[in-house]
Amino acid sequence: MESWQTHEVSNQTPPLENYNLYLTDAVLQEAVQREGAAWAAEQLQSAGTELGTAQAFDLGRVANLNTPVLRAFDSRGNRTDFVEFHPAWHEILTGVMRRGLHSAPWADPKPGAHVARAAAYMMQGQTEAGSLCPTTMTYGAIPALQKGEQRIRDWLPTLYSREHDPRDLPFAQKKGGMIGMGMTEKQGGSDVRANTTQAQAIGNNEYLVTGHKWFFSAPMCDAHLVLAQTPKGPSCIFMPRWRPDGSKNPIQVQRLKEKVGNRSNSSSEVEFRDAWGLLLGEEGRGVPTIIEMATYTRLDCCLGTSAGMRQALSQAMHHASHRSAFGARLIDQPLMRNVLADLALETEAAATLSLRMARAFDSLDNESENAFRRLVTPAAKYWICKRGPELAAEAMEVLGGNGYVDDGMLARIYREMPVNSIWEGSGNIMCLDLLRAFSKTPNALQVLMAELTPALGRHAAYDTFLGQLQRDFADSSNIETRARRLTQNLTLALQASLLLQHAPDYVSDAFCRSRLAHDWGYNFGTLPANVDFASLLNRAWPNQ
């Protein structure tokens, strides 16, 4: 039979798989050691092996191809409001919960627990990101639930469980569980105080809730924290899927949202028809109660975006190391080296700040760390999550047409990136929240300067930049108009400070010259010509 020479495959990059996500990431390893989770290195190395396998990456692919399906009714017409997932989703969540990403720092609180969990979360996010949504909400809800009445606290041992139990049953029959959230309504969006959903008290701290939610995250979760109006104002209601009498709570899923990304996970629109729930926190204080959950979620937005950045960079570096064009490997060509080194800088800065933030969550009894967490979390979420989509697009371009097709991972990363910028407050909300935190946090500027001054004297561009940042914060004129610039520059200063103190000089110098001294263009790949490209690339992707 005549051979088909036109179908011979050459100069194509092999799949990036069967590698250790932890041991190939020097930045992650260093941060784990530095931020207080050295004790977790062995388990993180094990997770890095598991999550870097061909099977792990394929589970992510399959879960995103086979999206959730709403089964609102059974064959006899009874409402079930059940969301059906592909087995790949459940296998992914089995690993997520076995690693304790939903609850470990609460179930086993010890120094560095949030940092260790953050590092594992970042590796999970490199293989499949949709599963991070219910994981994050459960993680964020637990500290609020710990302050609830006994009937709510009774849920905690099962939420601490490391067993994934997808069965739709009353919670007392479950071996493990997850928590979701319902805040957003059609007419309000980010303005949750405009919500119209009503909660009527029926005694014994119990309420019946009527209304709708335009975005109801992960409706398959066992309970949700729901914001509803009471006579005293917006209140937080703990709403299980099942009533105490064993009947299904009337939380009616109207449809699943068709999203740009995050396709493996279900997001929904729901109606409450006298849905039963328990008051969590004080009546009329629902926003502060649920914002506590949102603070943890915002940390995870930074971690999830950093994870997507890292995987996008890894895919680009891997491809450039194998692909040849114009007589040389891509990674040996000067302009491509500039692009990849720039992506590596952005990725390292994001991960370094995200893991420093995780350390602040390990120090809840420390007043200065709590102030740091309150100030920096919205700022970091704004900037890191804004940088994610741009970095993903550039990494996709490294692969050319192969990056743009859905057969590979970069298209999924690119679709996934915007969700973290929108989730738990879009860009403007984060910037305004920083201003609010700055005005309400005692000695806010001193808290920030305590973090930033240790890097003074290490780079002239940093010293100049920090001086201007102080003057900008001291000037209250037109401050809301300038809020994005202030938030951006605060985050850049924080990233530069950490890199100057902890990263090799060739990293911090390139970052300060490009991001702070503006020896940089408007796109990635415009670093100064005399930075140490070889060292930056070797640090980002060893043995290339």
Residue 172 belongs to a domain: no
- SS3 at position 223: strand
pLDDT tens column, 226-256: 999 999 999 999 999 999 999 999 999 999 9
Per DSSP, the chain holds a count of helices (H) and strands (E) of 20, 11
| Domains identified in the chain, total number | 3
pLDDT tens column, 53-82: 999 999 999 999 999 999 999 999 999 999
Both 95 and 187 in one domain: the answer is: no
Residue 361 belongs to a domain: yes
End residue of a domain, out of 160, 195, 210: 160
Residue 346 corresponds to which tokens in the numbers above?
């952005």
* Confidence at residue 424, expressed as pLDDT on a 0 to 100 scale: 84
Residue 88 belongs to a domain: yes
Both 255 and 334 in one domain: the answer is: no
Both 320 and 382 in one domain: the answer is: yes
> Which position has the token pair 């935190």?
437
* Confidence at residue 3, expressed as pLDDT on a 0 to 100 scale: 60
DSSP state string for 371-401: HHHHHHHHHHHHHHHHHHHHHHHHHHHHHTH
End residue of a domain, out of 243, 261, 285: 285
What is the share, in percent, of the chain residues with pLDDT greater than 70? 98
Residue 103 corresponds to which tokens in the numbers above?
């609850």
Nearest to 385 by CA among 475, 264, 262, 298: 298
What's 470-537 look like in SS3?
HHHHHCCCCCCCCHHHHHHHHHHHHHHHHHHHHCCHHHHHHHHHHHHCCCCCCCCCCCCCCCCHHHHH
Residue 8 belongs to a domain: no
Q: What's the mean pLDDT in 307-326? A: 96
End residue of a domain, out of 285, 301, 334: 285
Both 69 and 196 in one domain: the answer is: no
Give the CATH number of the domain where residue 210 resides: 2.40.110.20
Residue 288 corresponds to which tokens in the numbers above?
């502060």
Nearest to 282 by CA among 237, 224, 223: 237
Both 295 and 273 in one domain: the answer is: no
Both 356 and 504 in one domain: the answer is: yes
Both 103 and 153 in one domain: the answer is: yes
* Confidence at residue 187, expressed as pLDDT on a 0 to 100 scale: 79
Compare 191 and 157 and report the one with higher pLDDT: 157
Residue 120 belongs to a domain: yes
Residue 119 belongs to a domain: yes
Contact indicator for 45, 23 with CB cutoff of 8 Å = yes
* Confidence at residue 117, expressed as pLDDT on a 0 to 100 scale: 98
Q: How many residues does the chain have?
A: 544
Both 368 and 436 in one domain: the answer is: yes
* Confidence at residue 330, expressed as pLDDT on a 0 to 100 scale: 96
Both 389 and 437 in one domain: the answer is: yes
Residue 169 belongs to a domain: no
Q: Which domain holds residue 247?
A: 177-285
Q: pTM of this prediction?
A: 0.96
Residue 34 belongs to a domain: yes
- How many whole angstroms separate alpha carbon 57 and alpha carbon 258? 23
Q: HSE of 115 in the Cβ direction (CA atoms, 13 Å)? A: 26
With the C-alpha atoms ordered 112, 161, 301, 293, is the resulting torsion angle positive or negative?
negative
Q: CB within 8 A of 193, min separation 6: which ones?
A: 233, 234, 287
Both 120 and 227 in one domain: the answer is: no
Strand partners, 248: 242
Both 394 and 531 in one domain: the answer is: yes
Both 490 and 472 in one domain: the answer is: yes
- SS3 at position 135: helix
Give the CATH number of the domain where residue 329 resides: 1.20.140.10
Residue 544 reports pLDDT greater than 80: no
Q: What's the mean pLDDT in 503-531? A: 97
